[in-house]
Structure 1
Amino acid sequence: MKRTKFDGWLAGFCAARVFNGFVFMTYAAALPLLEKEWGMSALQAGAIASGFQLGYAISQVVFSSIADRVSARTVYLGSLFATGICSLAFALWARDFVSGLILHTMVGVALGGTYTTGVMIIADQYESANRGMAVGFFIAGTSCGYALSLAISGITLPIGGYKLSFFLTCLGPMLAWLVAWITLRHTVVHVRERQSGQNFTREVLRNRRAMLLICGYSFHNWELQGMWSWTPAFMAACMGAAGAVGAKAAGTGANIVALFHVTGLVASFSMGTLSDRFGRARVMLALATVSMMCSFTFGWSLGMPSFVVIGIGVVYALSSIGDSPVLSAALTEVTEPSYLGSALGLRSLVGFGGAAIAPLAFGAILDWSNPLHNGHRLYLTWGWAFSVLGLGGLGAVWAVYRYGKMRESL
Structure 2
Amino acid sequence: MAGFSTVPALLPSLQTEWLLSAGEAGALGGSYFAGYILTISWLSSLTDRLDARKVFILGALLSGAGSLGFSFLAHGLWSACLLQAVAGAGLAGTYMPGLRALTDRIETRMQPRFIAFYTSTFGIGASLSYAGAGWIASQWGWHAAFWIAGLQPLLGGILIWKFIGEKHPAVHPRRSLLHAQWQALKDSKIRHYVLGYAAHCWELFGFRAWIVALLTYSATQGHLPLSAPTLAALVNLVGIPASILGNESATRGNRQRHVIQVMLLSGLLAWLSGFAAPYPWLLILILPFYFGAVMADSAALTAGLLASTSAHERGAAMAVYSLGGFGAGLLAPLSIGFILDFCGGQERASAWLLACGCLGIWGLLHALHTWYRCRSAEK
Q: TM-score, normalised by structure 2?
A: 0.91
Aligned twin of 2:230: 255
Distance in 2 of aligned mates of 1:53 and 1:299: 24
Q: Which residue of 1 aligns with 2:214?
A: 234
Return the letter of the residue paired with 1:299: G
Per-residue CA distance 1:94-142 (angstroms, 9 max, x = gap)? 2321221111111112221112212222332333433221111111111
1:352 is aligned to 2:322: no
Where structure 1 has 5 or more consecutive residues not aligned to the other structure, the ranges are: 1-20, 372-376
Matched, 1:292 2:267: yes
Give the CA deviation at 1:174: 1.6
Report the residue type matching 2:210 in the other structure.
W
Evaluate the alpha carbon distance shift between residue 364 and residue 71 of structure 1 in structure 2; reply closer, same or farther with a 3 A threshold. Answer: same
- Counterpart-to-counterpart distance in 2, 1:54 and 1:225: 12
1:205 Cα shift? 2.9
> What does 1:180-329 correspond to in 2, within 5 Å?
180-184=160-164, 186-194=165-173, 200=180, 203-243=183-223, 252-306=227-281, 308-329=282-303
The one-letter code matched in structure 2 to 1:39 is L
Counterpart-to-counterpart distance in 1, 2:369 and 2:307: 17
Q: How does 1:50-61 map to 2 (within 5 A)?
A: 50-61=30-41
Deviation at 1:403, TM superposition (A): 6.6
C-alpha deviation, 1:225, in angstroms: 1.0
CA contact (8 A) 2:127 2:236 kept: yes
Q: What one-letter code is carried by the residue in structure 1 that aligns with 2:142?
A: Y
Indicate yes or no: 2:89 matched with 1:135. Answer: no
The alignment status of 1:391 with 2:351, answered yes or no, reads no
Task: Find the counterpart in structure 2 of residue 144 from structure 1.
Answer: 124
Q: Distance in 1 between matches of 2:261 and 2:109?
A: 21
Question: Matched residue of 2:93: which SS?
Answer: coil
| Per-residue Cα deviation, 1:337-392 (whole angstroms, up to 9, x for no partner) | 21111111112222212221111110000011125xxxxx6344301111111212
Match of 2:305 in 1: 331
Matched residue, 2:337: 363
2:64 and 2:154 in contact (8 A); partners too: yes
Matches of 1:154 and 1:82, distance apart in 2 = 23
Q: Residue 175 of structure 1: which of 142, 155, 180 is its match?
A: 155
- Paired residues of 1:90 and 1:100 also in contact (CA < 8 A): yes
Tell me the alpha carbon deviations over residues 34-84 of structure 1, each in whole angstroms, 9 at most, x when there is no partner. 110111111111111111111111211111122222222221222122222
What SS does the aligned partner of 2:104 have? Answer: helix
Per the TM alignment, residue 163 of structure 1 is displaced from its structure 2 partner at its CA by: 2.0
Q: Deviations over 1:184-242 (max 9, x none)?
A: 1x25253434489xx74885233211111111111111111111110111011112222
**Residues 1:153 and 2:133 aligned together:** yes
The range that moved more, 138-147 or 175-184, is 175-184
Deviations 1:5-29 (A, max 9, x none): xxxxxxxxxxxxxxxx221100000
- Matched residue type, 1:286: Q
For residue 298 of structure 1, what is the amino acid of its counterpart?
A: S
Post-superposition CA distance 1:305-325 (Å, at most 9, x none): 51x211211011111122111
Which whole-Å CA distance do the structure 1 matches of 2:35 and 2:294 have between them?
Answer: 22
3-state SS of 1:22 partner: coil
CA contact (8 A) 1:24 1:146 kept: yes
Aligned partner of 2:8 among 21, 25, 28: 28
- Does the Cα contact within 8 Å between 2:120 and 2:244 map onto a contact in 1? yes
Q: Is the CA contact (8 Å cut-off) linking 2:203 and 2:332 kept in structure 1?
A: yes
**1:88, 1:72 → 2: CA distance?**
24
* Distance in 2 (alpha carbons) for counterparts of 1:192 and 1:150: 40
Structure 1 distance, partners of 2:185, 2:376, is 16
> What CA RMSD, in Å, does the superposition of the two structures yield over aligned residues?
2.4
CA, structure 1 residues 189+237, in 2 after alignment: closer, same or farther (shift >3 Å)? farther
Amino acid at match of 2:10: A
Report deviation, 1:258: 0.6
Q: How many residues get paired?
A: 375
> In 2 relative to 1, CA 126–276 (structure 1 residues): closer, same or farther, beyond 3 Å?
farther
Structure 1 letter corresponding to 2:167: V
| C-alpha contact (below 8 Å) 1:125/1:189 kept by paired residues | no
Question: What's the TM-score, normalizing by structure 1?
Answer: 0.84
